[in-house]
Structure 1
């Protein structure tokens, strides 16, 4: 048996093991909460297990995508077709995991809104809100590590894990993929490179988790349902980044996806929180601005911290979409 066959068998075995752990962790998390009543709370012990299972699920999913893309024949053909380096592949798989997490978050938000917002806005709660806060918190800390791995491979262009994957030279390579600095960037250097997204992840995964689980003071979770639904735009954001890596910016799919991304981002991330404040003002029978002024200072600060990055990112997306439209218009006229 030659070395190539042995490696192929080894990678198939790794894929099977990763797939087994991935599916088992998700099924275990579902089983852990499936017998609860809607108004039940999640204990610390149960929540700790959910967070552990969340780490297992998201990390094995990331590794599963990476092994499939980097160490299989299908993955090799895919990389060769689109001329992808290992850094490109890791960036794509990171975005795929983000899209999966977004699907879970939206499903959670839909259940919470259908249950809590149609009953008592201020008091009604569903256990899935806390359950996914425990499970999903693992994603935001996993994703910090995952984005750092992407940053390392994009700046050094080294192979992933034990097998080096050499980049395929592009016709006109304008990105930094060909740059091969001898020193691996430190985690602190990465933190300086992406401060906004890093602070966003720490805020959602840390403080946001504490608010949902401990600090809400017995209030209902209708508001948190809308926060979960903010992730509806993430699959479109992820697909935009993936299409960019695949050099498909000029494709119709990129344009249509960009429009869907802008629309969902505007509705779910920019307008959703002001709409929740409107719902709150109606529930307490106050005018809109009186209701906002009546909120505790910590709540108002939290809303600002959550909303301001969304406004910043929406501005960047809109500016990018405008540039793309301006570039495409002369082509259509000619």
Structure 2
């Protein structure tokens, strides 16, 4: 198990370092902040694709009995790649934050210090908290407290990563100066669609599937589940709803600006808010 964990611990930081070395060769005018940001987004997309594929495999393998059916990926993907990625991503988010504010000329960002770390935690508190909660709550539940039941639902949670590549692509398109292209607009629509379907509507769907298994109407399912399960789902769902509302507001402002603008103007980044929440 430790060997597999080490594999994930090497994979994501290794990809990040390679991209930081290669991207300046292709985009010489990019700043350190640009390189770190795009490197972070690309690694996030790679992890998201891995999680999505794993989720599809687990869900399709456990459909006949959503409680008792099992698949080895439901447990081992979390150990091999979920835990290492969450730990790496906290560090990658910090680097992106650090270089972004150093480019803006902030005096506190001339070197790494406790002050820069504290600033990062305050600005990205919800994301950092969510990452830590996944490491300290989801991992023990997945490994020890499920009694090897409910792999179908673990696979469904993997599918929340479907929207991540579209969010990352949007940021990369902006870095490439393609924010006015039709690709960027289509991608923005895909962000909203996939985020809603796989990070919000997915939870009522899981409750419906659970109810169908036990012959319960969906409105009675919360009363059939332990309080801890309902609270856990609520803790995962609540930030998704918050971020989706932010996405819709930003998208609406962009739409109003594009309709009202008489001359070309810089486009505000629809992807400013970071929603790279695993599972």
TM category (shorter chain) comes to: 0.7 to 0.9
Q: Is the 8 A contact 1:284 1:291 kept in 2?
A: no
Matched, 1:121 2:51: no
Q: Is the 8 A contact 2:163 2:191 kept in 1?
A: yes
Give the TM-score of the pair, scaled to structure 1.
0.74
Q: Is the 8 A contact 2:70 2:148 kept in 1?
A: no
- The 2-side partners of 1:293 and 1:247 are apart by 51
Structure 2 unaligned segments of length 5 or more: list them.
263-279
1:322 corresponds in structure 2 to: 252
Residues 280-319 of structure 1 aligned to structure 2 (within 5 Å): 280-319=210-249
Structure 1 unaligned segments of length 5 or more: list them.
1-45, 158-175
Of 107, 118, 141 in structure 2, the residue corresponding to residue 211 of structure 1 is 141
3-state DSSP of counterpart to 2:154: helix
1:35-60, Cα deviation, whole Å (9 max, x unpaired): xxxxxxxxxxx2x3222110100010
Q: Is the 8 A contact 1:109 1:229 kept in 2?
A: yes
1:224-277, Cα deviation, whole Å (9 max, x unpaired): 111001100000011122223334322222111000111000100010011000
- The 2-side partners of 1:220 and 1:311 are apart by 24
Residues 174-193 of structure 1 aligned to structure 2 (within 5 Å): 176=104, 178-179=105-106, 181=108, 182-184=110-112, 185-193=115-123
Q: How many residues align?
A: 260
1:270-297, Cα deviation, whole Å (9 max, x unpaired): 1001100000011111121211111111
Of 257, 280, 289 in structure 1, the residue corresponding to residue 187 of structure 2 is 257
By relative contact order (CA 8 Å, sep 6+), the higher-ranking structure is 2
CA shift for structure 1 position 204: 2.3
Matched, 1:58 2:12: yes
RMSD: 1.9
2:76 corresponds in structure 1 to: 131
Structure having the higher Rg: 1
